[in-house]
Amino acid sequence: MIVIERRNKIREILMKKRSVKVTELVHEFQVSEETIRRDLIQLEKDGLVQKNYGGAILMEDLHKTQDIILPVELRELQYFKEKDAIGKRAAQLIQEGQIIILDAGSTTWCMARHLHEINNLTVITNALNVIEECSVNQSASIFMLGGELRRNSKSMIGPQTQSEIQKYNADYVFLGTSGISIRQGFTSSDLYEAQIKQAMVSAGQKIVLMADHSKLQKTGLVSFCNFEEVDYLITSDLADQHILEEIESFGVEVIIASTLIAK
């Protein structure tokens, strides 16, 4: 197992257990204690864990930084069970042989984890972590959009990215969002990422927004699409039902993912 793959597996263990022990990881991956300690040191540098004697724990107080644009690795850990349920439900919309566009974000990464078994899928994305996850599917054709690397989100942005998106015509576009406001629609906390999302909306036959419950009634810096442009909103059973009913009144089909059955 290569280094990056092992570290990704350690991240998944941390998402589920919130803490790890060096001895457990040595047994799990059949490597030396020194190798695992190097992995944990790197994850600590990435801001994902805090090392302690004999292991590491997830960084605490993530929820206190909701208004800060966190590195994508930290956003993957926030509400992971809920986002994974949403991603799994989104993947169920896709049929064999379809063309999809996925933008950058923690929820689209969760969705990518559930695309491994869909045959002859074509995936277009600007997200490095989505590319890595989708590459597990040996039958998938994967297209990486070029542009300037945004390290915080591990995504490509800029005029080149926008121009390349215009070449494609996708069956579905799947987008994350920083916030959903009845007045402002779907918003992003980053102007440049919002521009990419706008271009992706123009390239899809069906537009799907994915959002955990914390995004409702929250407004980001800039709007990237309104309710009339969206076909589906996939959220979870933790979302406020009254707000969802308002969103449905705009013609958006709301799909609820159950957090009770998420694995």
pLDDT of residue 263: 46
Q: What percent of the chain has pLDDT over 70?
A: 90
pLDDT of residue 118: 96
pLDDT of residue 144: 96
Cβ neighbours of 146 (radius 10 Å): 12
Residues 79 and 46 both lie in one domain: no
Domain count, the chain: 2
Asked if 137 and 112 touch (Cβ cutoff 8 Å), the reply is no
**Rounded to two decimals, what is the model's pTM?**
0.72
pLDDT of residue 66: 38
Q: For residue 21, what are the domain limits?
A: 3-60
Mean pLDDT taken over the chain: 87
Give the separation between CA 197 and CA 195, rounded to whole angstroms: 5
Buried b (16+ CB within 10 A) or exposed e, 192-211: bbbbbbbbbbebbeebbbbb
Q: Does the structure show a pLDDT above 70 at 75?
A: no
Asked if 134 and 140 touch (Cβ cutoff 8 Å), the reply is yes
Give the separation between CA 173 and CA 255, rounded to whole angstroms: 16
Locus of tokens 């979302």:
239
Give the separation between CA 2 and CA 43, rounded to whole angstroms: 16
Residues 148 and 219 both lie in one domain: yes
Residues 24 and 113 both lie in one domain: no
Residues 108 and 215 both lie in one domain: yes
Asked if 174 and 104 touch (Cβ cutoff 8 Å), the reply is no
For residue 210, tell me if it sits in a domain: yes
Confidence of residue 61 (pLDDT cuts 50, 70, 90): very low
Last residue of a domain, one of 11, 27, 60: 60
Residues 36 and 92 both lie in one domain: no
Q: At 27, which CATH number?
A: 1.10.10.10
Q: Does the structure show a pLDDT above 90 at 124?
A: yes
Q: Does the structure show a pLDDT above 80 at 72?
A: no
Ramachandran angles phi, psi of 122, nearest 5°: -110, 120
Residues 54 and 79 both lie in one domain: no
Of all helices (H) and strands (E), which one includes residue 106?
Answer: helix 106-112
Report which of 118, 86, 127, 113 is spatially closest to residue 99, judged by C-alpha positions. 118
Residues 41 and 170 both lie in one domain: no
